Structure 1
Amino acid sequence: MRFGYRQRRRGATARRQHDTPGSSGAWKAVWRLPLRWLGVALALAAVGFGARFANEKLREPGAFPLRQVRIEGELRNLAEEDLQPVVRGYLGQNFFNADLDALHAALATNPWVEEIAVRRGWPDTIEIELRERIAFGYWGEREMVDVNGHRFQPTELRQPGPWPRLAGPDGHEKDLIGTYQQVHALLDPVGLKLVKLVQDERRAWWLTFDSGLEVYVGREQFERRLQRLARVYPRLLAAQAERIAVVDLRYVNGFAVRWKTGSPNPTAG
């Protein structure tokens, strides 16, 4: 009896041990995936909280102040003191919070700035890379024009001249620059240094040279008339250049001379 009882107890115990793993495995199977996603969610929440906390600390007003400015680019008419008043207000600001887009826009308003890039340089630097506008000469009375035909009004001109003077219709800036270069290349070798080029409202051309000599070319046959001047000036006019006020090239096979003792400007006709 005792032995058989024991056998029954063993059998009952064996059955309980067999049933328990089955119920535990079923429980784990049901909760395994939700628990895994819960762990992932908690981990992401911890990471997000840590990142937010770190971001807030990094962006506190007194943290990581900007302390210096580095400027790259060839400066001819610009100087660092032109940029300092604009940049000074950003020094001391937080490296991550400083609005460098606004700084870029403020610096770009300087008429000498053609292109500019503003960047952060870790850990405390504002890096400014700029390209200064290359002036060609004066345009009209108050403006200048750069080598690309862009007109602008500089606040200060540090680069020494002399600067040629151009004037003409709006939208013809590049044309006048090209014409000036053409006249200079043709007439400078014969002793005529061009200092002023004007195209009036009738599209007629006026040339003024450093000696004070004025040449009226007119609207037509511009290149042909210039070549005529280049031929006759050294032979016929150079010796009397100081007495000549105006040379009028608007003739088919010749030219007219207005002497300084006469009227200073020719009449159209």
Structure 2
Amino acid sequence: MHALKGRAHRIAADGEVYGQHPARERELFVVPRPFRRVVRFLVNLASGRIHIPNHAGTVSALALFAATGLYGMSLGGHSQTVAQATTTAAGFAIEDVKVSGNSETSEIDILEKLGLDGETSLVALDINAARSRLAELPWVEEVELRKVYPKTVEVNLKERKAYAIWQHGQDLSLIEKNGSVIEPLRDNKFANLPLFVGRDAETAAAKFEKDFSKWPQVRELVKAYVRIAGRRWDLHLKNGIVVKLPEEGIDQALTLLTRMDQEQRLLERDIVGVDLRLPDRTAIRLSPGAVERRQAALDARTKALKKLGNPT
């Protein structure tokens, strides 16, 4: 019985069902299984059993033309332009940009990097590309960008921190604590930051300044830290005195300098330099005026001694 039911559902090429006319079964063509639903649909369509809505052909043709047009625009690279124009017309044009976390980065620079022209669509805005452009700004360390529909973009920045000023040749640059250059120094806003001068000074600055922090009395007098041959430091004081530090044993040298200044007020005298490079001696260089005064005092002392030795 099961076998007979199976045969009763076999469909011939012309739609006739097996089992109804056994005499003709040998003449009929058996449709392969994968195509049976298609043939059944066509038979029902031809017999009027399936109803096609009005204007279905028109809609299908329009859909075909639209798909073809979109494919052509995609090949021509115009899909982004069309998408932007469409979404802008639909009320998604960016009208507000909210910026937070910026202290040194101007909002004008941010807007330029976003590339907004008053008609830019929020839907068509490429967040990843905009984030990459904002990251190119000198002060930007991290950036978060978010779309807030229908018309707002939120920009949250984390900026780099200026640690010191680095002079290399005639150029002055702001640097981070790790020595990375932020941007050229453009105004006096950061004039109170420590000044490091010379090759490799920017990378050695943080470690030296940390070690030097144990000597606040001397640090307050320093105008610039000058790196010499990438090995040691000279301290240029605000009053013009240059203190030459050794390559090693900086703590001992600064201990001696502090003691001499406390006991003899050395750094207030008419001198131009203190050489602490040798551990067993300290060389002090007088200013030209002090040299003249010292020479005049020596000459006067010599004359006085001669008078005492040769009375008239």
Q: Distance in 2 between matches of 1:22 and 1:177?
A: 89
Matches within 5 A, 1:11-26: 25=9
Counterpart of 1:244? 271
TM-score, normalising length: structure 2: 0.59
1:10-33 deviation line (CA, Å, top 9, x unaligned): xxxxxxxxx9x88765569x6898
* Counterpart pick for 1:131 among 127, 141, 158: 158
Q: Is contact 1:68-1:91 (8 Å) kept?
A: no
* AA partner of residue 229 (structure 2): E
| Aligned counterpart in structure 2 of residue 149 of structure 1, from 171, 179, 187 | 179
Q: Write out aligned runs for 1:45-194 (5 A).
A: 59-61=83-85, 62-63=88-89, 64-75=92-103, 77-87=104-114, 89-140=116-167, 141-154=171-184, 156-157=186-187, 159-170=189-200, 173-183=202-212, 185-189=213-217, 192-194=220-222
Could you tell me how far apart the structure 2 residues matched to 1:155 and 1:225 are? Answer: 33
Gaps of 5+ in 1: 1-18, 39-45, 264-269
CA distance in structure 2 between the aligned counterparts of 1:160 and 1:124, rounded to whole angstroms = 38
SS in 1 for 2:265: helix
Shift of 1:178: 1.6
Identity %: 23
Amino acid at match of 1:167: V
User: Runs in 1 of length 4+ with deviation above 6 angstroms?
Assistant: 21-24, 30-33
Rounded to whole Å, the distance in 1 between the matches of 2:219 and 2:179 is 27
Give 2:250's match in structure 1, choosing from 191, 206, 222.
Answer: 222
1:136 positional shift: 1.1
Please tell me whether the aligned partners of residues 213 and 241 of structure 1 are also in contact (alpha carbons under 8 angstroms). no
Compute the displacement of 1:150 (Å). 0.4
SS in 2 for 1:59: helix
Over the aligned positions, Cα root-mean-square deviation in angstroms equals 3.9
Residues 190 and 145 from structure 1, CA distance in 2 versus in 1: closer, same or farther, beyond 3 angstroms?
A: closer
SS at match of 1:97: coil
- C-alpha contact 2:114 2:133 (8 A) present in aligned 1: no
Secondary structure of 1:257's counterpart equals strand
Consecutive unaligned residues of structure 2, counting only runs of 5 or more, are 12-16, 18-32, 42-59, 71-78, 291-312
Sort the Cα spacing of 1:232 and 1:207 in 2 relative to 1 into closer, same or farther, 3 A.
Answer: same
CA contact (8 A) 2:84 2:120 kept: no
Report Cα offsets for 1:60-117 as digits up to 9, x if no partner: 4134211111212151x22323423434535421222223444334333322222223
> Which amino acid counterpart does residue 255 of structure 2 have in structure 1?
Q
Give the TM-score taking structure 1 as reference length: 0.67
The answer to whether the Cα contact below 8 Å between 1:244 and 1:259 also exists between their aligned partners in 2 is: yes
Give the Cα–Cα distance (whole angstroms) in 1 for the partners of residues 150 and 93 of structure 2: 8
Counterpart of 2:83, as a letter, is: R
Contact 2:162 2:182 in 1 (8 A): no
Alignment of 1:18-37 (within 5 A): 25=9, 34=37
Counting matched residue pairs gives 229
| Cα distance in 2, alignment partners of residues 156 and 33 from structure 1 | 80
Distance 1:124 1:158 in 2: 39
Letter in 1 for 2:148: G
| Secondary structure of the corresponding residue to residue 98 of structure 1 | coil
CA radius of gyration, larger in = 2
- In 2, Cα distance between equivalents of 1:215 and 1:155: 26
Cα deviation 1:155-195 (Å, max 9, x = unaligned): 7458453121112334x533222202322x22223674323
